[in-house]
Each structure stands twice: as structure tokens, then as C-alpha cells.
Copies of this chain bind each other. A is one copy, B any other.
Amino acid sequence: MRTFHVELKKVVDDSYEIEIGFELEKKLIADLQQGLAGNIRKFAVITDSIVKDLYANQILTLLQESGYTAELFVMEAGEKSKTRKTKEQIEDAMLEKGFRRDCCIIAVGGGVVTDLAGFVAGTFGRGVPFINYATTLLAAADASVGGKTAVDTPLATNLIGIFNQPEKVYIDIATWKTLPSRQLSSGMAETIKHACMASKDFFNYINEHMEEILNVEKEPCEKIASENCRIKYEVVMKDERESGLREILNLGHTVGRAIETVSDYRLLHGEALSIGMVAEVTLANRLGYVTEAEKEEVIALYAKANLPTAIPDYINREELVQKLYTDKKVKNGTLRFVVQKGIGNIVEFEDGIFATPIEEAVAREIIMQI
């Protein structure tokens, strides 16, 4: 018998910049010319059927006019496209067009596009660089920090994917003006979640500026985009592999993800999260971590963002209870919830443990009452 030791210890630097502003298309090109993607001359612009005409075509043209080789790869808009099949179609189209390892991917779109394109980038030729050009508030809130990329499967959302960090993220707030108001509201769900878990001041700011935000005014939108990044970054930086602390970003997602799936994506992610947050804050109130007044304040802010705060009639609540078990926090067959403490804080149950076991009967009761 012989043993052989493979020593693979190394320093990895995945640091990157997030740039928040208005109309950043030309800045992206300027950055590439300054060496953002090294010597790469070949770009795959991945987008969806809506963002294509709004922004991606323009970026494609700018790339080509600057002497780069660039091709557009378009998926159908919507969460239903976030599948292994779409990933496969894009990969095959890229291979067909002669893309190999010497390319860079630019994702132009919302969270679905950035999640999927980041996953494609991570496995194409065992990894090519990618850049996120986020065109929705949700992408700004959710997809710009953390490196989480994934697709959905029939049995669970976001369970097949990788951690993959972009070269740079652009958050172009001008693009929010073309968002349907339902999408803009949906994006506010993650923003309010961030406030609930980390900052009462930010919660109050959102409450005071909701109208301007929903009107896409520059100052408050830049503020919420950067606060989103800051809060998420502080959590992610401390726990890149989602071992403990990072689970707090799952606040509201236990019920939120399940209801998104059970609704067959009739509910947008943020709409589902809004209902999930109502479930979470109801649980927190029941466990004694949130007062009745705080609970109402959270629910009221979600309502103010024009988000649903009750489970729609078409949802089968028993099916929803069963679907909770597909949550990735489930351990040894037991449901686990992250719970907020007042507004702006998270309960730490034990040292480094932020998700607590909840009996199915309790989860069912809450789902039946909201």
C-alpha cells in the first residue's frame, strides 16, 4: 500500500467592483478597453427576450464597434427559463458559434439571466470569466454580491449551481425605468428583507422614500442599491461558503421559495418572498422575538411596496407545507427557519447557528393563518 499526498493550498483572490449609476453601457466598454477581461477579445452576451431589445443589443453593438467579437444568446424571459435545458441550449449555441475557453460572458438582465449566465460561465470550458450588467432591482439586490449562481429543477429551486464570482457588476439604475411596476415591487422584497435583518435605519429610510423609489428617482435608488450591496456583502464576506451566518440571507425564503414553486411561478420571486416574510415575521412574533407592533410594521412596509402579504387562494396550503421540505436548510428531515429579532436584527440561536428547527405542525399553523 502506498499513499500519495496532493497538496493544494493556495491564496485565491476573487475580489471585484460593483458600480452603481445611470446608463453604464459605455463605462463597461471603457473598462474592457482598460483590461477588465484581460486580453479576451471574444464576448458572449447572454440576455433574455425582453432585455434583448432594451439594452443587450446596444451593448452588443458597442462591443462590435469597439473591435471585439461578440454574439448574442437569448433565453425566454421569466423564472421558468432558469433550467438545465436553457443552460444546455446556450452552451450548444456558444460551441456552435466557435466559442471555447478564450471568451468572456456578459450577462445583461435580471436575476434569472445573471444566475444562469454565471452558472454557464462557471462550467463552460471549466470556467470562463463573466461580467454582470444588472437591469433590475432584484438583480441589484440579490445577484450582485455572493457569487450564487444556479438553475431550478422540477423538484427544487436553485439547488443545482455553483459559487462563482464575476469580474465586475454594473447596476444601471436607468434600466429600472423600463421595469414593469410589478417587477420593481418584486425587487423591493429583497431590499426590505435586508433592512429587516440588518438595519432599522435603512428600514425607516425605505418607509419614508417608498414613493420616490417606485418612481425610480436617482438619489434614493442609488442609496438602496448600495445599501443592498453593503448589507449583503457584510454577511457574505464573513461566510462565503454559506456554512452558518450566510443562512440569514435566507430570511423569509423557507416559505418564499416553496410558494414560488407551488404557484408554478405565477408569483414573481419577490412576491413569493413577501409572503414568506409575512410567514417568517409571524413565526418570529410567535417565538417572542418580534412584537405585534413590529410584525405589523414589517407587513405594512411590504404592502406599501405593492407586494402581496397573504397566500393567494389558488395555492394549495397543504401542498405548500410539503414543499417546505425541499428547502436546502432542511437537516435530517427537519424544517429549519431563520428568524428576525425586532427590526434590523437576526436571532442567533446558538453560537453560529441562525436557523432553528421548527415542527411541521407549527409551520402548518402559520401557513394556514396567513
Q: How distant is the Cα of A270 from the Cα of B7 in the complex, in angstroms? A: 27
A91 at interface by CB-CB < 8 Å: yes
Question: CB distance B163 to A126 under 8 Å?
Answer: yes
A21 at interface by CB-CB < 8 Å: yes
Q: How distant is the Cα of A147 from the Cα of B9 in the complex, in angstroms? A: 14
Closest residue of chain B to A163 (Cβ to Cβ) is: B126
Residues on B with C-beta less than 8 A from A313 are: none
Identical copies of this chain, number = 2
Q: How distant is the Cα of A12 from the Cα of B165 in the complex, in angstroms? A: 15
Question: CB distance B5 to A15 under 8 Å?
Answer: yes
Q: How distant is the Cα of A96 from the Cα of B156 in the complex, in angstroms? A: 10
A104-131 Cβ-contact flags toward B at 8 Å (1 or 0): 0000000000000001001111110000
Given contacts A10-B11, A11-B11, A20-B4, contact A162 B328 (CB under 8 A): no
Question: CB distance A159 to B100 under 8 Å?
Answer: yes
Q: How distant is the Cα of A15 from the Cα of B9 in the complex, in angstroms? A: 6
Question: CB distance A162 to B122 under 8 Å?
Answer: yes
Q: Which of B4, B13, B17, B22 is the one whose CB lies under 8 Å from A229?
A: B4
Residues on B with C-beta less than 8 A from A22 are: 1
Q: How distant is the Cα of A340 from the Cα of B242 in the complex, in angstroms? A: 45
Question: CB distance A153 to B92 under 8 Å?
Answer: yes
Q: How distant is the Cα of A181 from the Cα of B239 in the complex, in angstroms? A: 49
For the complex formed, measure the closest distance between the CB of A122 and the CB atoms of chain B, giving whole angstroms: 6
For the complex formed, measure the closest distance between the CB of A245 and the CB atoms of chain B, giving whole angstroms: 15
A358 at interface by CB-CB < 8 Å: no
A274-303 Cβ-contact flags toward B at 8 Å (1 or 0): 000000000000000000000000000000
Q: List CB contacts (< 8 Å) of A324-357 with chain B.
A: 325-326, 328, 330-333
Q: How distant is the Cα of A230 from the Cα of B6 in the complex, in angstroms? A: 9
A176-194 Cβ-contact flags toward B at 8 Å (1 or 0): 0000000000000000000
Residues on B with C-beta less than 8 A from A12 are: 8-12
Q: How distant is the Cα of A237 from the Cα of B91 in the complex, in angstroms? A: 29
Residues on B with C-beta less than 8 A from A10 are: 11-12, 14, 240
Question: CB distance A88 to B92 under 8 Å?
Answer: no
For the complex formed, measure the closest distance between the CB of A36 and the CB atoms of chain B, giving whole angstroms: 13
Residues on B with C-beta less than 8 A from A21 are: 1-2
For the complex formed, measure the closest distance between the CB of A28 and the CB atoms of chain B, giving whole angstroms: 13
Q: Can you report 16 A-B residue pairs in the complex whose CB atoms are below 8 A from each other?
A: A1-B19, A2-B222, A3-B20, A4-B20, A5-B17, A7-B15, A8-B12, A9-B11, A10-B11, A10-B14, A91-B160, A92-B155, A96-B155, A98-B333, A122-B162, A123-B123
Which A residues lie at the B interface, using CB under 8 A?
1-22, 41, 84, 88, 91-92, 95-96, 98, 100-102, 119, 122-127, 145, 147-148, 150, 153-156, 159-163, 165, 222, 225-226, 229-230, 233, 237, 240-242, 325-326, 328, 330-333
Known contacts A6-B165, A8-B165, A100-B159; 9 further A-B pairs (Cβ under 8 A): A2-B21, A2-B225, A4-B18, A6-B15, A6-B237, A8-B12, A8-B237, A10-B240, A100-B330
